[in-house]
Amino acid sequence: MGIKGIAKKAMEVGEMGFNKEGGVINWFPGHMAAATRAIRNRLKLSDLVIEVRDSRIPFSSAHQDLQPQLSAKRRIIALNKKDLANSNVLNKWVRYFDSCKQDCLPINAHSRSSVRKLLELVEFKLKEVISREPTLLVMVVGVPNVGKSALINSIHQIASTRFPVQEKMKRATVGPLPGVTQDIAGYKIAHQPSIYVLDTPGVLVPSIPNVETGLKLALAGSVKDSVVGEDRIAQYLLAVLNTRGTPLHWKHSNQLQEITNITEYKPDYNPKDLRPKRKKLSSVSDVLYVKDLATEVQHALYVTLSEFSGNIEDENDLECLIEHQFEVLQKALKIPHKSSEARLMVSKKFLTLFRTGKLGSFVLDDVPEFNLVS
């Protein structure tokens, strides 16, 4: 299949390590190795584990090395960033986990109502333990950048108004880069019984089973861009969009239909790399600019794919299409042709539009076949 060839080629010259068969990625910072040992020890003492995964990659964002231990505990899989995932596909994933008798809940870690539902499920799962244990321990684990620290902060905000907390709670450090929380810390969120939530730094498995899993993690931001290279990640994203025919579906979206109305107004605004910000954009014109940029990108990819006469399943044809799309995206993203780092700038802006949901909602992992439980 074309996409697998593109994925393999994208990583041939990368900085990530492979085994002799080609496919195993090694990326394991030292502080994460130490954290993993600490997590394994604390797992033995925990009463419940919240495993946070990215809703866009429900399988690929699982911590494979810890699965045997995690599955043996009371566990809730929290599929975070549900607002960035295709709701229909995400619901199929939830049904899949239900068929495996595994508690699973899609959440938005920045939404209090969403986190409250998670806490209700945590309390329900702990009811049988509360009666016999004065102190309960809940662990939050997951790979980097799936939103563990954001979830911890939301839990603290809710707990501060809901429970008589005895000591001042320390907030977890939140950042856009994977592995930002550098040590394991405990937070008391309730009293009588005492409930502690431990925030753990994201720990990526020492080896990822195949190249495509590694690229999905990189695309979702769980591996630093510099490790794989923005160019390679963008190539993979284009391969995914093209093989799925996604740009052809954009033809019927309101955003694409309104392209002529939006492009008439182009304010003098050029956000650096379109980095997502916590604060609101400074004006309506800023919002229009970003919306305009996303629409231009969607239109460019729609036109290039609809006019493509090659075989999308052929690796060479797909590669030619992607190269052409890079050229078209440079114009759509308003990047000067004489820029020496034009391709890098195209990749960065394109990836940012995808990661912030401006190109639509996606689930990159295919749902495994399963039998519905009646």
Interatomic CA distance for residues 333 and 346, integer angstroms: 7
Percent of the chain with pLDDT strictly greater than 90: 46
64 lies in the same domain as 177: yes
165 lies in the same domain as 246: no
45 lies in the same domain as 185: yes
Q: What is the CATH number of the domain that holds 160?
A: 3.40.50.300
C-alpha dihedral sign at 175, 163, 113, 279: negative
pLDDT of residue 311: 95
The DSSP 8-state label assigned to residue 135 in this structure reads: E
Q: Which two tokens stand for residue 257?
A: 């239909």
Beta bridge partners of residue 76, listed in sequence order:
50, 103
pTM above 0.75, yes or no: yes
- Would 344 be classed as within a structural domain? yes
217 lies in the same domain as 154: no
Residue that is last in its domain, among 199, 221, 255: 199
Q: Which two tokens stand for residue 320?
A: 């030619």
Place of tokens 């963008």: 234
256 exposure class (CB count in 10 Å sphere: 0-12, 13-18, 19+)? middle
Residue 88 · residue 60 · CB < 8 Å: no
347 lies in the same domain as 226: yes
194 lies in the same domain as 248: no
Average pLDDT taken over every residue of the chain: 80
> Domain range spanning residue 2?
1-25+210-263+283-373
3-state secondary structure of 277: coil
- Would 133 be classed as within a structural domain? yes
105 lies in the same domain as 186: yes
193 lies in the same domain as 217: no
The DSSP 8-state label assigned to residue 17 in this structure reads: B
Asked whether the predicted pLDDT for residue 271 surpasses 50, the reply is no
217 lies in the same domain as 109: no
The answer to whether the peptide bond before residue 271 is cis (omega within 30 degrees of 0) is no
pLDDT of 176-216, one tens digit each? 566 655 455 677 777 767 778 887 766 767 567 788 999 99
pLDDT of residue 374: 47
Interatomic CA distance for residues 7 and 218, integer angstroms: 12
pLDDT of 25-41, one tens digit each? 666 666 667 777 778 88
- Would 246 be classed as within a structural domain? yes
pLDDT of residue 335: 92
Strands 135-141 and 103-106 come out as unpaired
Interatomic CA distance for residues 4 and 361, integer angstroms: 22
176 lies in the same domain as 259: no
Tell me the average pLDDT across 332-360.
91
pLDDT of residue 44: 84
- Would 271 be classed as within a structural domain? no
164 lies in the same domain as 61: yes
- Would 270 be classed as within a structural domain? no
Range with lowest mean pLDDT among 92-96, 188-192, 352-356: 188-192
- Would 216 be classed as within a structural domain? yes
Place of tokens 């510099």: 226
Residue 265 · residue 287 · CB < 8 Å: no
pLDDT of residue 210: 84
- Would 275 be classed as within a structural domain? no
3-state secondary structure of 105: strand
- Would 123 be classed as within a structural domain? yes
Task: Locate the DSSP E strands across the chain.
Answer: 25-26, 48-54, 75-80, 103-106, 135-141, 185-190, 194-199, 207-208
Residue that is last in its domain, among 171, 199, 227: 199
Domain tally, the chain: 2
117 lies in the same domain as 254: no
Closest CA to 39 of 181, 167, 161: 181
Identify the helix (H) or strand (E) that includes residue 237: helix 230-244
> C-alpha distances in angstroms, 317 versus 6, 91, 107, 242, 320?
11, 34, 39, 11, 5
Residue that is last in its domain, among 162, 180, 199: 199
